[in-house]
Amino acid sequence: MAISTSKAGRIAIIGASGYGGLQLVKLINEHPKFEISTLNGERSVGKSWNEINPFMKLLEDKEITKINIDEIAQYSEYAILSLPNGLSSQLTHLLLEKGIKVIDLSADYRFKSLDKWKEVYSKEAAKYKRDDYELCEEAIYGFTEEFSSEISKSRLIACPGCYPTSSLSVLIPFLKQGLIESEGIIIDAKSGTSGGGRNPSEQLLLSECSESIKPYGVMGHRHTAEIEMIASQFAGHEVHLQFTPHLVPMVRGILSTVYARLRDPGLTAEDCKTVIEAFYKNQPFIDILPVGTYPATKWVKNTNKVMISVEVDKRNGRIVLMSVIDNLLKGQAGQAIQNLNIMHGLESDIGLPMITYYP
């Protein structure tokens, strides 16, 4: 059994007003071993949390304060950064210097190479000057089910993106064991509108996206590089794949359908299901569905679960892998708390929802 390193972990939430921040506040407020130390932001400075979020009142109301590293260090052991790409990097080194462990929800530390980050996030790189090469090397990629040992010893966690979480959850078991060809992998992914964030956007207006579905970022979506980086790590060689995201008219949830060619075309869907079950044995947030049962986003809504199904097309030797997650929980804030649990010496599932409200 894991043993907590202290009675209660004090958590600063930096960037609490977005959708990710809202989830973090709820999860930490209800967590038996953590408490919110400070709520920090920019747009809502000086206002009380309950004033601007009457639908999510805290028993002990807190004021949104301007980001103050010394104040955060005085009252916190951990800081979760739910900030735009680029901005997190301006604060992370300051927090670490004060002894604060950092969990970052942005993409700033997902790449071991800062130069690669600058290539993929070129607009942010032009706005925010960075030379924190060593921190990029140090940061642990927060795919909890695979890197829990490293996460437990780390002071800087880079939480994966929502699409990478969903896609890699089904790819990693087969790439790591060399069961699929690394050439010709196709990821067809569909996400709800909350993945676009809380800031107003024309494409996310009800009249624009309702009763419609459309692809976006078909060539060069930023998550492609992230998925390829981790896929290459597990395959043991460079992997190039096709990733196409789609916007669907629902609020939350991601469905990823992944196509790949089996090295052994004799494998059946039941064989492949056994592979995934063995790989994720004793992982509380991974559910493997029976062959012939296909996952629905509603089944994992408001939970930290990943539901996975697999089929094999015997005609062409292709495997079809399907996964669903809640993009705001397992794809963002829930995975952050899962990593925080491990950093704090707790079981990974403490304080995280596992059963949806249905329908």
3-state secondary structure of 40: strand
Query: Pick the catalytic residue: 136, 159, 162, 209?
Result: 162
159 is catalytic: no
DSSP 139: P
- 3-state helix, strand, coil split of the chain in percent (to 5) is 35, 20, 45
Give yes or no for a contact between 227 and 187, defined as CB atoms under 8 angstroms apart.
yes
In this structure, the strands spanning 286-288 and 306-313 are parallel
Q: What does the alpha-carbon distance between residue 343 and residue 154 come to, in Å, rounded to a whole number?
A: 7
Q: Where are the alpha helices (DSSP H) in the chain?
A: 19-29, 49-52, 69-75, 87-97, 114-120, 122-127, 133-138, 144-153, 162-176, 206-209, 222-235, 269-279, 334-343
Residue 180 pairs in a beta bridge with 262
Q: What does the alpha-carbon distance between residue 261 and residue 351 come to, in Å, rounded to a whole number?
A: 39
Q: What does the alpha-carbon distance between residue 70 and residue 17 come to, in Å, rounded to a whole number?
A: 21
Number of Cβ within a 10 Å radius of residue 119: 12
Known catalytic residues are 162
